[in-house]
Amino acid sequence: MPELVFFSGTMDCGKSTLALQIEHNRSARGLVGMIFTRNDRAGEGKLSSRLGLVTDAVEVADDQDLYAYLVDHLSQGGRVDYVIADEAQFLAPVQIDQLARVVDDLGLEVYAFGITTDFRSKLFPGSQRLVELADRIEVLQVEALCWCGARATHNARTIGGEMVVEGAQVVVGDVDQSTGEVGYEVLCRRHHRRRMTAASARAAALSPDVLPVSSG
Ligand SMILES: Nc1ncnc2c1ncn2[C@@H]1O[C@H](COP(=O)(O)OP(=O)(O)O)[C@@H](O)[C@H]1O
Ligand SMILES: Cc1cn([C@H]2C[C@H](O)[C@@H](COP(=O)(O)O)O2)c(=O)[nH]c1=O
């Protein structure tokens, strides 16, 4: 039975890499995938991994009907054996419903990849709908780590290394952004709650306030 599978995790945990591996393994056996994405860092119509691999994809528009798009494609003689949707957190809930319909009515396997929560640890609407509808939710096996060594479960937005909690839900960006620009850092829940990034932990460790008081 075809399934709607949601591969979820923090930023930088290997989701796009896995999407590209699934695509590679299936196309190596002659299967044809339809690859959707939205707002990939590499630019419009791209699905890219930090390991340097990239492939072309269909850039999903705000009000695009993904089910209708596939039906059109198939009725014009196109072939599709499976569907990949990367950056699925950016899809609208109705587009996730359309992907579920692709599974149920077209009999195609759909692999969706995305982060579950935003920088405030609130569900993205698209991810919420995936949690509600997916046949299976898979958490990626490669653990992204917080600076403290614990498993990273949350995404922090940073400016100059400092965590911020105000701003738009969607701001395309990357981890390891040490400049003043908006960047992201993955943290464990404890340090996300305390708003403690690697930079602020380093600064706190160097602060005279926390140095041991000399008795001499
Ligand atoms: N230089 C590197 N050497 C080995 N692995 C790397 C390197 N850079 C990134 N990675 C791996 O790639 C992962 C990020 O993959 P990517 O698919 O871009 O993540 P996601 O789509 O989840 O944001 C990292 O967690 C790490 O495992
Ligand atoms: C936490 C968070 C992230 N984003 C953006 C930043 C990146 O462009 C993508 C995630 O991509 P990845 O391949 O999983 O690293 O999402 C955002 O817009 N808002 C957020 O709160």
Residue of minimum CA distance from atom 8 in ligand 2: 172
Pocket of ligand 1 (CB under 6 A): 9, 11-17, 49-51, 142, 144
The gap between the terminal CA atoms of the chain, to the nearest Å, is 74
Does any domain span residue 198?
yes
- Residues 200 and 198: their CA atoms lie apart, in Å, by 6
- Residues 39 and 43: their CA atoms lie apart, in Å, by 7
Does any domain span residue 216?
no
206 falls in which pLDDT band (50, 70, 90)?
Answer: confident
Ligand of minimum distance to the alpha carbon of 175: 2
- Residues 4 and 13: their CA atoms lie apart, in Å, by 20
Which distant-in-sequence residues (6+ apart) come within 8 Å of 121 by Cβ? 154, 155, 192
CA 55, 154, 117, 137 dihedral sign is positive
Q: Are residues 109 and 151 part of one domain?
A: no
pLDDT for residue 166 is more than 90: yes
Q: Which residues are catalytic?
A: 87
Q: Which of 122, 142, 162 is at the close of a domain? A: 142
Helix (H) or strand (E) holding 46: strand 46-48
Ligand of minimum distance to the alpha carbon of 51: 1
Q: Are residues 60 and 7 part of one domain?
A: yes
Residue 200 is part of a domain; what is its CATH number?
3.30.60
Backbone dihedral angles phi then psi of residue 36, each to the nearest 5 degrees: -105, 145
Distance 36 CA to ligand 2 centre (A): 16
Q: Are residues 73 and 10 part of one domain?
A: yes
Question: At 45, which amino acid appears?
Answer: G
Q: Are residues 36 and 26 part of one domain?
A: yes
- Is residue 111 classed exposed, middle or buried when 0-12, 13-18 and 19+ CB atoms within 10 A define those classes? buried
- Of 35, 39, 47, which is closest to residue 110 (Cα–Cα)? 35
Q: Which of 142, 161, 186 is at the close of a domain? A: 142
- Of 156, 142, 207, 208, which is closest to residue 185 (Cα–Cα)? 156
Please give the annotated binding residues for substrate, written as ranges: 170-173, 184
Q: Are residues 124 and 28 part of one domain?
A: yes
Quote the pLDDT of residue 214: 58
Question: Number of folded domains in the chain?
Answer: 2
Residue 131 is part of a domain; what is its CATH number?
3.40.50.300
Does any domain span residue 61?
yes
Q: What is the pLDDT of residues 42-56, one digit of tens each?
A: 999 999 999 999 999
Q: What is the pLDDT of residues 68-118, one digit of tens each?
A: 999 999 999 999 999 999 999 999 999 999 999 999 999 999 999 999 999
Tell me the pTM: 0.94
Q: Are residues 94 and 51 part of one domain?
A: yes
Q: Are residues 193 and 87 part of one domain?
A: no
Distance 125 CA to ligand 2 centre (A): 14
Q: Which of 117, 142, 167 is at the close of a domain? A: 142
Range of the domain at 105: 1-142
Please give the annotated binding residues for ATP, written as ranges: 9-16, 86-89
- Give the residue-averaged pLDDT of 16-25: 98
Q: Establish whether this prediction's ipTM goes over 0.90.
A: yes
